[in-house]
Structure 1
């Protein structure tokens, strides 16, 4: 029994969201579970691609028009 366990009626449980791990000698150790970091999926909004393409086309058109009127 350690500070990480709680025993009642002859049964012990691990506290603080720890999991029991059984050692080869028969003793039990409470360890925190190993959590892998959750990788967020990269999501690209199709509407944003459309907006970027429209802005690029407008930029090209403005450059062409300015070049025509600069002469």
Structure 2
């Protein structure tokens, strides 16, 4: 319907605006189970997760568990 089409158009325009204003800073979250994107605002451009509190903590806990498991 027209409402969902206009939402899709707005999403594409917003995506292009972010991509052009922040080249190389817009990327997918490093958590393969997450479908969100992030805008990396860190100086060294090294952010990996959409949210450190959610995805970052989950991935770090998973990695720690795998390393310490015997």
Q: What TM-score does the superposition give when structure 1 sets the normalisation length?
A: 0.31
Which structure carries more relative contact order (alpha carbon 8 Å, separation 6+)? 2
Which structure features the higher share of helix residues?
2
